[in-house]
Amino acid sequence: MNMPADRDGYRAAMIEGAHKIVERLPETFASFQQLARAHDPGGILASIAYYDLQRGMDEDGSMHAISGALEQHHVDCSRPFY
């Protein structure tokens, strides 16, 4: 991966974006926790695992996410909420 010409500007933009996401984490986790309490947590995780963790294979044999960028560690992070 080649670094952009304005490395410092790129780094500052990445840090700013990360700070915005971190600021929203409590709200995001509270929302997920509310869902897990109102519904069957096992069913929620089973649905996530079935639909969002599916992978497809291209003709060259490379794997790609079918439905999004959700990864196994995202599902694992949800386990303390139920």
In this structure, what are the phi and psi dihedrals at residue 6, rounded to the nearest 5 degrees? -95, 75
Per-residue pLDDT of the chain (82 residues; tens, 9 = 90+): 566 788 889 999 999 999 999 999 899 889 878 887 888 877 877 777 776 677 778 888 887 777 666 677 666 766 665 5
> Which pLDDT score, from 0 to 100, does residue 79 have?
63
pLDDT value of residue 58: 82
The residue extents of the domains of the chain are 7-81
**Residue-level pLDDT at 31:** 87
pLDDT at residue 70, as a whole number: 67
Q: What pLDDT, on a 0 to 100 scale, did the predictor assign at position 5? A: 85
Burial zone of 70 (CB within 10 Å; 0-12 exposed, 13-18 middle, 19+ buried):
middle
